[in-house]
Structure 1
Amino acid sequence: MIAIAIVGVLVAVAIPQYQSYIARSQASEAVTLLSSLKAPVLEHYSVTGDFPSAADLGSFVKAGTYVSSITGSGATGGADATYEAKFAKTGVSAALSEKTVQMVFKSSGEVECKAGTISAELLPSACS
């Protein structure tokens, strides 16, 4: 009986931790895909002074195993531009389903990773 109680307590602690680990690992895909936009977006900005829309970037990876799409409307006149990775509805952790991660490009040249609609605790440490 005591052994069963111990196993029950271990399972009660381990399952939520495992689910959080899976969600964080899946969330890292969005950050990786958004990070691949840094060079072309900043290059476009340095040449034109405007941030391009996702459609204007040409060929880049727009989806992944867990990310269903990447969008971004660009910005002109020195405004910041936000690009967003949206997670798929199925095949992804429930904590991420149809939620978003954002990458904000600032006219100062800084790039900031934001949680969007996911919980900030699920962001990889690269976003800190």
Structure 2
Amino acid sequence: MQATAKNAFRNLKQGGFTLIELMIVVAIIGVLASIAVPQYQNYTARAQASEGLSVTAGMRADIAEQYSLNGRFPESVEKLESTAGRYVDTAEYERVGDGDNASGVITVTFQGSSALGAKTMQISSDKPQEGWTCSATGTNSIGENRLPAGCKD
């Protein structure tokens, strides 16, 4: 009869994880999250910054056309209705310098509700046919690590 009592006692024991095993799993998830969340935020900000390139594509094409026709940057570009986007608030063009030393600079300002905040990015070129470069200059810039990969130096 004692053998039957031992078998009954063994069947009542529940299996499961110990507290230390659960704590180890929680610690591992915490470490992975502490690495993944900042990387995801950076990825999101760079994706939103790339909208600045797509929103200004028409403006950059107009500037390149005027440059190829006249041999110099235009004084101004008519404001296109498509210069605002989901994350871009405004995009403004400015000619910097005179004559052959002039360059074109487009300043993109992002909305405050975006992952970038109400910060700016500059898209500039000395020769628009050769391409445009993005920069994070100024006190209110988005930061070098958040520039889109499509227009870095």
Q: Which residue of 2 aligns with 1:66?
A: 87
SS of 1:52's equivalent in the other structure is coil
Long gaps (5+) in structure 1: none
Question: Are 1:101 and 1:113, in contact at CA under 8 Å, matched by a contact in 2?
Answer: no
Q: Which residue of 2 aligns with 1:6?
A: 28
Q: Which has the higher contact order (CA 8 A, sep 6+)?
A: 1
Give the alignment's Cα RMSD to 1 decimal.
2.0
Query: How many residues are matched?
Result: 124
Long gaps (5+) in structure 2: 1-22
Taking the aligned partners of 2:114 and 2:69, their CA distance within structure 1 comes to 38
Q: Which residue of 2 aligns with 1:104?
A: 124
Q: CA deviation at 1:107?
A: 4.2
Question: Are 2:56 and 2:83, in contact at CA under 8 Å, matched by a contact in 1?
Answer: no
Superposition map of 1:26-65 within 5 A: 26-54=48-76, 56-65=77-86
Check 1:40–1:62 CA distance in 2 against 1; reply closer, same or farther (3 A cut): same
Q: CA deviation at 1:52?
A: 2.7
**Identity %, equivalent residues:** 34
Question: Are 1:44 and 1:50, in contact at CA under 8 Å, matched by a contact in 2?
Answer: yes
Give the structure-1-normalised TM-score.
Answer: 0.82
Q: Which has more radius of gyration?
A: 2
Taking the aligned partners of 1:36 and 1:22, their CA distance within structure 2 comes to 24
